[in-house]
């Protein structure tokens, strides 16, 4: 790890919960929107791999949202991003993942490493006195956590709120209650929250949540109050990746970005540009051809929800086929890979023809097929990332290599396959979602002809 290269001080809050589905995203968005409306510069981060929550968090804060994960992104990467944000912001908010102590590493590990003040959100809709026990347990389960208090969510009435507050052993931990209100709910679907641009009332929902939070003790904390939760963030020298900054200099990467292909880490885009690439965005749904490019990136998303439109856009299919036949590199991950196969069979059993670059069929299912942090060993380096999908694929293609589960995690069955195809082996596809900054060298190799098995 590198040496210290500076310090920045800023209030920093981790929005946590005892489990998933308690309302962390709603509260994090409400807090960000509330302070942004008051003129403060707010930067929000998401703990762990996630593509959907950051869209809402970015909308609420009017700033890019990056991931923090002590394993996938790495401790030094987390330190640098927090330090950079602290230099320009009045408030940092980190949305946790799952329950506070779930996962290896957990949101609690992140909070403890960087001294973040933990605010616990508890869905109190079906409890009274037990609320106090949960709050006490979250605060005291692990020594060394800086605990800021607890917020009750989905509360039935002011009387219910009073019961919850009375259940706390330490009244100072009470940060208020959010009443049950469907207008504050951010809709969900099978891979998480729906995209904000799919809801015409997205900002209205965020403003409603901010207004509700403004009535709580947490929402009434002033800028001066928040200074009591300030943290000193120390940056670290970047680790050596053995990669010249110009690894992709002069190369244009076409990046699919629309409602069907929307799972893009902002940090991945930054990484490609930092090593010289020019990014040209296009829509496989709406455009009839690829932009002029040297390589193609098809990120994850929801091709199954837009299968009819993708199938009808035969001009785009022809353009992608021509790109592949010219031997130009393609990196396709999860949803991007799904669209490269011959067909997708949706959840209703209906078959939709896809682009036919890879032989085989993708079948949607209601049960989660794979989930968890994984890594992909590439020549001379390793990419870290994760997998999360509800489909399976059947293909005659052999796996050129497979991902490995993160240390300390268990793996059911085999890791995700990396499929390599095309006349020069330039087409690479996998269910694996890569975090490019974990190895810019390996990331560059995905978009270069000379890097193939």
Lowest mean pLDDT: which of 238-247, 255-264, 440-449? 238-247
How far apart (Å, rounded) are the C-alpha atoms in residues 148 and 412? 38
Q: What is the reported pLDDT for 379?
A: 81
Q: What is the pLDDT of residue 189?
A: 45
pLDDT of residue 128: 96
361 against 245, higher pLDDT? 361
d(CA 121, CA 133): 14
pLDDT above 50 for 250: yes
d(CA 403, CA 416): 5
CA distance 442 to 275: 12
- Residue 6's pLDDT band (cuts 50, 70, 90): confident
Which candidate in 10, 47, 334, 393 is catalytic? 334
Confidence class for position 420, pLDDT limits 50, 70, 90: very high
268 touches 240 (CB < 8 A):
no
What is the rounded CA–CA span in Å between residue 373 and residue 103?
10
Given this model, what pLDDT does residue 276 score? 94
Q: What is the spatial distance between Cα 381 and Cα 80, in angstroms, rounded to a whole number? A: 22
Least confident range of 8-22, 220-234, 343-357, 360-374: 360-374
CA dihedral 144, 146, 152, 154 (to 10 degrees): -90
- pLDDT tens digits, 338-364: 999 999 999 999 999 999 999 999 999
- 293 as an active site residue: the answer is no
Segment 139-152 mean pLDDT? 96
- What's residue 197's pLDDT? 53
Report the distance separating Cα 34 and Cα 40, nearest Å: 9
Distances (CA, A) of 337 to 254, 287, 314, 392: 15, 19, 18, 11
Lowest mean pLDDT among 276-290, 313-327, 353-367, 371-385: 371-385
In order of their start, the domains of the chain are 4-236 (3.40.50.300), 252-445 (3.40.50.880)
Contact in structure between 448 and 249 (CB atoms under 8 Å): no
* 136-145, 245-254, 327-336: segment of lowest average pLDDT: 245-254
Is residue 94 within 8 Å of 110, Cβ to Cβ?
Answer: yes
pLDDT in tens, 210-220: 999 999 999 99
At a CB cut-off of 8 Å and minimum separation 6, what does 342 contact?
A: 353, 354, 356, 358, 359, 360, 361
How large is the average pLDDT for residues 49-72? 90
Query: Which helix (H) or strand (E) segment is 331 a member of?
Result: strand 330-333
Tell me the three-class secondary structure of 85-106, residue by residue: HHHHCCEEEEECCCCCCCCCCC
Model pTM score? 0.89
β-strand partners of 12: 92
Strands 174-179 and 66-68 come out as unpaired
- How far apart, in whole angstroms, are the C-alpha atoms of residue 47 and residue 299? 20
Q: Which residue has the higher pLDDT, 13 or 5?
A: 13
Residue environment code for 331-362, b if the CB has 16+ CB neighbours within 10 A, otherwise e: bbbbbbbbbbbbbbbbeeeeebebbebbebeb
């Amino acid at each position: 790890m590198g040496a210290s290269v500076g310090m920045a001080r800023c209030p920093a809050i981790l929005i946590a919960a005892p489990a998933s589905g308690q309302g962390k995203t709603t509260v994090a968005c409400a807090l960000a929107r509330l302070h942004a409306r008051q003129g403060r510069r707010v930067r929000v981060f998401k703990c762990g791999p996630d593509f959907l929550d950051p869209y809402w968090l970015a909308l609420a804060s009017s700033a890019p949202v990056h991931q923090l994960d002590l394993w996938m992104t790495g401790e030094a990467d987390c330190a640098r991003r927090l330090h950079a944000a602290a230099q320009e912001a009045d408030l940092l908010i980190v949305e946790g993942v799952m329950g506070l102590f779930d996962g290896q590493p957990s949101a609690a590990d992140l909070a403890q490493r960087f001294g973040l003040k933990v605010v616990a959100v508890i869905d109190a809709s079906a409890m009274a006195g037990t609320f106090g026990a949960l709050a006490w347990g979250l605060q005291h389960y692990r020594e060394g956590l800086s605990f800021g208090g607890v917020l009750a969510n989905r509360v039935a009435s002011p009387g219910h709120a009073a019961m919850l507050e009375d259940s706390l052993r330490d009244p100072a931990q009470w940060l208020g209650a959010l009443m049950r209100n469907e207008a504050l709910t951010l809709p969900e679907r099978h891979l998480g929250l729906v995209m904000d641009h799919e809801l015409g009332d997205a900002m209205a929902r965020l403003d409603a949540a901010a207004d509700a939070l403004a009535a709580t003790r947490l929402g009434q904390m002033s800028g001066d109050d928040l200074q009591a939760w300030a943290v000193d963030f120390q940056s670290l020298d970047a680790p050596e990746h053995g990669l010249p900054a110009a690894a992709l200099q002069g190369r244009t990467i076409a990046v699919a970005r629309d409602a069907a292909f929307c799972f893009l880490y902002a940090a991945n885009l930054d990484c490609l540009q930092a090593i010289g690439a020019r990014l040209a965005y296009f829509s496989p749904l709406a455009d009839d051809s690829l932009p002029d490019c040297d390589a193609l990136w098809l990120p994850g998303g929801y091709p199954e929800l837009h299968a009819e439109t993708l199938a009808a856009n035969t001009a785009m299919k022809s353009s992608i086929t021509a790109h592949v036949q010219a031997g130009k590199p393609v990196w396709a991950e999860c949803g991007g890979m799904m669209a490269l196969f011959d067909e997708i069979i949706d959840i209703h059993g209906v078959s939709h023809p896809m682009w036919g670059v890879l032989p085989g069929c993708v079948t949607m299912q209601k049960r989660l097929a794979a989930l968890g942090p994984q890594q992909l060993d590439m020549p001379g380096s390793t990419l870290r990332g994760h997998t999360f999908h509800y489909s399976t694929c059947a293909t005659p293609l052999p796996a050129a290599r497979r991902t490995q589960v993160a240390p300390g995690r268990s793996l059911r069955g085999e890791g995700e396959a990396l499929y390599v195809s095309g006349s020069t082996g330039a087409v690479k596809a996998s269910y694996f979602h890569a975090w490019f900054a974990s190895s810019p060298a390996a990331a560059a190799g995905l978009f270069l002809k000379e890097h193939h098995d």
